[in-house]
Chains A and B, each alone.
Chain A
Amino acid sequence: MINSKKSIITRYILLIIFSLIAIFPMIYMLSTSLKPNGALYEFPPKFFPDKNELTLENYKYILNESKFMRNFFNSIYVSVIAVIISSIVSTGLAFVIGRFKNKFTKIIFSCLIVTMVIPGTTLIVPQFEMAVKFKIINSLSGLIPFYIAWVIPFSTFMIKGFMENIPNSIIDAAEIDGASIFQVFYKIAVPLAVPAIASVSIFNFLSSWEEFPWANTVINDTKLRTLPIAITGFFGQHQFTQWGYVFALSVLSLIPVVVIFISFQKFFISGLASGGVKG
């Protein structure tokens, strides 16, 4: 495209404004977490802390309390297991639905798509009843199966697109060589679908990592809390909210997410892009 210098400069200025708006609340959170955790609200509120009031006391408190380390590992445990299982089972489903088109697989696929329309939280009452019956209330294993079930439709939908695009010739050649369906699956289909599986796994990790309503309903024990529940746990615990602690724990819980995002940026983009272009 032919662009004049002036329009390029306008673009940069607008982009800088948008980016500042996007990160402003995050910077405010970071700066509040570095201020002393004294009053309910400081007056005047300052966007940046003064040099002499900069402190790590909030972080020290969080890191010294063993329960927050537990919360951190609970979140890791739940998210990692949910991601591993959901990507394995969704890849299997996507392979069969994408490569074997018949009435049965079509019905299954439409069932999956229809449930994507229904918000997961609408099912919370019957799911709660199930969790009580299965005695998985107030336990981390009460979270995992539901997290897996929630992401199966979207994961299958995304990976199926990749499965459909594998050239027939490759699979036919393997069949002539006498490969079984299992062999075609893990020797050909899975390696070729790795980008889709990776991007789906990242999204699933995030959705388990940040899940709030279900964990908040099922988990009572402070030691069994995941991070989002631990963060909101500061409210109502005392007369006033300790915003310094809230934001210090928030910043700590964001670190793994940002690390994953920056290391796998490519998959974030490609995953969303393939979904979007396909429509």
Chain B
Amino acid sequence: MQIKNNSSKFQLGALMAPGLLIFALFTIYPIFRLLIASFHDWTLASMVKQPFVGWNNYKTVFSDKTFWISFENSIVYALVTVPGQMFLGLLVAILIDGIRKISVGFRVLNYLPVITSWVIVSLIFKYIFNTEGLLNYFLFNILHITSKNVRWLDFRWSGLWVAMFLGIWKGVGWNMVVFLAALQQVPKVLYEAAELDGCKPIRKFFAITLPSIKGSVLFAWVMLTIGAFNVYTSIKLITNGAPAHKTETLLTWMYYKAFSTGEFGYSAALSFIMALTLCFLAIIQFKIMKKKDE
């Protein structure tokens, strides 16, 4: 279409204006405000006057032990849950792709965790993994694997594992749908030809399936990495950072610093470091996939 006259220009403007206005005001402005705040001393004590402090907030963040713990936790969370969800999601998708009867039923059941809110599933997991919960009852009283009730949520790695397990469990369905859609577009002729040549299933997977669904793999990889760094609600509700901030992730620590201790400048710097890390990761991910394309 062409923009012919002023009236068309006006109409285009009118179509874009509301969306742009909301986006600029509630997303773009806060990003710039965040950048500015990260270079100013902004605490509960300096609410009105916020003096410029240069890189001080960033220095404080980088010299803070808990920041590095939460950074490590977020990285581990991403490294475990992203491949975990993708692998299991792809597995379920492949299984469903090969059957006819009740395939919709399996799809619906596996998608239920995706549509259930983070608040609800976090509380269920907290209830199951609690020291007096169902899991310990099975391990200790029924199977006698453990000699006493294990305090899963009171230690750094076991607490994180509960959150990571939850992250994987909740994400399988989403990956299943994304990969199933891609699998259904792979021409069946390719598989038939491969079978005539005597191809084994594993070779078929790597030679035909995986290359054909590469676009979806990239899509899932990028979206899930962003999602993994977005983890907040599950940690907040399951461990709330305990013990002694050992299970904080970047977001929960940022939130704690802002709203529990009132160090807004620190939080702003931490948010910015996080945003830059994610942009950097996304660029690398796109570069890697582009290279594989060539």
Contact with B along A1-17 (1 / 0, CB 8 A): 11100011001101100
Complex Cα distance, B27 from A130, in Å, reads: 11
Interface contact B19-A89, CB-CB below 8 Å: yes
Instruction: Closest A residue to B98 by CB, please name it.
Output: A11
Complex Cα distance, B31 from A111, in Å, reads: 12
Given A99-B1, A279-B215, A181:B8 Cβ within 8 A: yes
Instruction: Closest A residue to B254 by CB, please name it.
Output: A122
Q: Name the A residues within 8 Å of B219 (CB-CB).
A: 275-276, 278-279
> Is B115's CB within 8 Å of the partner chain A?
yes
Interface contact B29-A100, CB-CB below 8 Å: no
> Is B218's CB within 8 Å of the partner chain A?
yes
Given A1-B98, A126-B33, A130-B30, A232:B237 Cβ within 8 A: yes
Contact with B along A205-242 (1 / 0, CB 8 A): 01001101100010000000000100110000000000
Complex Cα distance, B174 from A99, in Å, reads: 30
Interface contact A125-B178, CB-CB below 8 Å: no
The 8 Å CB contact of A117, one of B28, B123, B251, B282, is B282
Interface contact B128-A108, CB-CB below 8 Å: no
Q: Name the A residues within 8 Å of B28 (CB-CB).
A: 111, 115
Instruction: Closest B residue to A20 by CB, please name it.
Output: B109
Interface contact A276-B178, CB-CB below 8 Å: yes
Instruction: Closest B residue to A95 by CB, please name it.
Output: B15
Complex Cα distance, B216 from A253, in Å, reads: 32
> Is B63's CB within 8 Å of the partner chain A?
no
> Is A116's CB within 8 Å of the partner chain B?
yes
Interface contact B99-A11, CB-CB below 8 Å: yes
> Is A204's CB within 8 Å of the partner chain B?
no
Interface contact B220-A125, CB-CB below 8 Å: no
Instruction: Closest A residue to B137 by CB, please name it.
Output: A45
Q: Name the A residues within 8 Å of B278 (CB-CB).
A: 117-119
B202-240, CB < 8 A from A: 214-216, 218-220, 226, 229-230, 232-233, 236-237
Complex Cα distance, B146 from A30, in Å, reads: 28
Complex Cα distance, B179 from A185, in Å, reads: 33
Q: Name the B residues within 8 Å of A19 (CB-CB).
A: 106, 109-110
B132-165, CB < 8 A from A: 132-134, 137, 141
Contact with B along A106-139 (1 / 0, CB 8 A): 0010011011111111111111111000000000
The 8 Å CB contact of B23, one of A41, A121, A149, A275, is A149
Instruction: Closest B residue to A26 by CB, please name it.
Output: B112
The 8 Å CB contact of A210, one of B1, B117, B220, is B117
> Is A250's CB within 8 Å of the partner chain B?
yes
> Is A140's CB within 8 Å of the partner chain B?
no
Q: Name the A residues within 8 Å of B104 (CB-CB).
A: 265
Interface contact A28-B271, CB-CB below 8 Å: no
Given A1-B188, A99-B1, A210-B119, A262:B22 Cβ within 8 A: no
Complex Cα distance, B119 from A269, in Å, reads: 24
Category for how many chain A residues contact B: 35 or more
Q: Which label, helix, strand, loop or mixed, suits the secondary structure of the B interface? A: helix
> Is B244's CB within 8 Å of the partner chain A?
no
Distance in angstroms from A161 CB to nearest chain B CB is 12
> Is A59's CB within 8 Å of the partner chain B?
no
Q: Name the A residues within 8 Å of B108 (CB-CB).
A: 261-262, 265
> Is B125's CB within 8 Å of the partner chain A?
yes
Q: Name the B residues within 8 Å of A261 (CB-CB).
A: 108, 111, 115
B1-25, CB < 8 A from A: 1-3, 7-8, 11-12, 14-16, 18-20, 22-23, 25
Given A15-B99, A171-B1, A126:B34 Cβ within 8 A: yes
Interface contact A29-B132, CB-CB below 8 Å: no
Distance in angstroms from B276 CB to nearest chain A CB is 9
Interface contact B110-A22, CB-CB below 8 Å: yes
The 8 Å CB contact of A127, one of B26, B99, B125, B134, is B26
Complex Cα distance, B118 from A106, in Å, reads: 35
Complex Cα distance, B29 from A126, in Å, reads: 9
Complex Cα distance, B18 from A80, in Å, reads: 18
Complex Cα distance, B19 from A8, in Å, reads: 50
> Is B261's CB within 8 Å of the partner chain A?
no
Known: A1-B195, A275-B178. 6 other contacts (CB 8 A): A15-B96, A117-B275, A119-B229, A212-B232, A213-B236, A272-B181
Can you offer 28 A-B residue contacts whose CB atoms are under 8 A? A1-B192, A11-B95, A11-B99, A14-B95, A15-B95, A18-B88, A26-B113, A28-B127, A89-B19, A118-B278, A119-B226, A119-B278, A122-B34, A123-B30, A123-B31, A124-B255, A125-B268, A127-B30, A130-B29, A146-B26, A149-B22, A181-B15, A182-B15, A250-B120, A269-B107, A273-B180, A275-B178, A276-B179
